[in-house]
Amino acid sequence: MPSSLLEQLTEAARDDVLADPRWEDYAAGVLNAEDKASLLEKAKAAGLDEETIEALGPREAAFDEAIADAALLTLASAAESKGTQATEAPPKSASTEESATSTKPIAEASNVIALAPKRASRVARWVSLGGALAAAAAVVFAVTRPRDLPVYTMNIKGGIADVRATPVDTHDPVLVNRASQLSITLRPATKVDGRVSAKVFLMQDSTSFEPKVSLELAESGSIRITGTAQDWFTGKPAGTWQLCAFVGDPSKLPTHPHERSSSDRSSVIAVCRDVQWTGQ
């Protein structure tokens, strides 16, 4: 019999059917039939509900792919912000030092961003429709991804820093002035099934508006959005604005950035990045 309260807590956790190590193989989809039957029987006997068992189940390969894509982009982004290029890894026998001398950039190695400009894409902050758009979470890639849309990355060109070729941290706002011609590329990690479109909103505190933009849609699901800072910001106060692009089923795109509904969750995502308007 456990004597202390903490020991009782430990014992309760140990007896939890969820602590069974076989769940990892189950989640990986590699548990053999015999163990699977035994595990599910144990789960049933322990009163584990169907929803939890489903949550423990294998995921589609596309889910792992999307995470891998986002990880690669995040690594590339970190390398970029350090002023270096991530490199294609050497064979396993090679040393770490050798890997640093390899010259193939990740932007070329990854087919996710094969359409990217010469510079590796910056990875935008991602937020979900269900999350606060103003959330300041410094999460680098998708926090929430609807099941029927892949991870999207956002690349903004045309900011002042781009022109100066100054290394910019991933989370720094894109600095724009009246002369800035902005080109925003939204690129899916995998080809999108079905038609998608996008809407852009700019938000600052409680103010928001939909700027005038031109949209170009590619069959792959990539979207290019262009516009000028002068059109967007003239008459607007200087400072940091949050640029959010909503991507998804054209019929489900919001008419207001804070509009959300449960049906949108599965068909629309928001990709956001801060933009610093100089006011001049």
Partner 1 sequence: MSPQRRAITRDVLDNALAGDRSAVRELIANLRPVVQTAVVGVLARSRGSARGRPLAQEVDDFVQEVFARLFASDAKELRRWQPAVAPLETFVRGIAYCDAVSILRNRTTSPYTEDPIEPEQFDPIPKSEPTPETRAISRDALLRLVDAIRNGLGPRGAAVFELLILRERPVEEVCATLAMSEDAVYAWRSRIGKKAREIQLELLSE
Considering the complex, state which of residue 151 and residue 182 has its C-beta at the smaller distance from partner 1.
151
- The position carrying tokens 């103010």 is 207
| The residue count for the chain | 280
Closest contact distance (angstroms) between CB of 246 and partner 1 is 18
Among 90, 133, 250, 253, binds partner 1 (CB under 8 A): 90
Candidates 40, 62, 75, 160; binder of partner 1 (CB under 8 A) is 75
Q: Which residues of 53-68 are buried (b: 16+ CB within 10 A; e: fewer)?
A: eeeeeeeeeeeeebbe
In the complex, minimum distance from the CB of residue 188 to partner 1, in angstroms, rounded to a whole number: 15
Using rule CB under 8 A, residue 40 touches partner 1? no
Residue with smaller CB distance to partner 1, 229 or 264: 264
Q: Does 115 bind partner 1 (CB under 8 A)?
A: no
- Cβ burial of 229 (10 Å; 0-12, 13-18, 19+) is buried
Residue 218 buriedness (CB in 10 A; 0-12 / 13-18 / 19+) = middle
Burial class (CB in 10 A: 0-12, 13-18, 19+), 83: exposed
Given phi > 0 = left and psi -120 to 50 = alpha, else beta, which region is 194? left
Using rule CB under 8 A, residue 87 touches partner 1: yes
Q: Is 186 helix (H, G, I), strand (E, B) or coil?
A: strand
Regarding 103 and contact with partner 1 (CB under 8 A), the answer is no
Asked whether position 276 contacts partner 1 by CB under 8 A, the answer is: no
Residue 24 as a binder of partner 1 (CB under 8 A): the answer is: yes
Measure the CA–CA gap between 69 and 145, rounded to whole angstroms: 13
In 82-184, which ranges are continuous DSSP H helix? 96-101, 106-109, 160-164
- Count of residues in contact with partner 1, rule CB under 8 A: 70
Contact status: 114 vs partner 1 (CB under 8 A): no
CB closer to partner 1 out of 1 and 165: 1
88 binds partner 1 (CB under 8 A): yes
Is residue 191 a contact point for partner 1 (CB under 8 A)? no
Question: In this structure, which amino acid lies at residue 213?
Answer: V
Residue 230 binds partner 1, judged by CB under 8 A: no
SS3 label, residue 193: coil
Stretch that binds partner 1, among 67-75, 179-187, 195-203, 238-246 (CB under 8 A): 67-75
Which CB atom, from 64 or from 259, has the smaller least distance to partner 1?
64
CA distance 207 to 131: 18
134 makes contact with partner 1 (CB under 8 A): no
Residues in contact with partner 1 by the rule CB under 8 A? 3-6, 8-10, 12-14, 16, 18-19, 23-28, 30-32, 48, 51-52, 54-59, 63-65, 67-68, 70-72, 74-76, 78-79, 82, 86-90, 92, 96, 99-100, 102, 106, 109-111, 128, 130, 138-145, 147
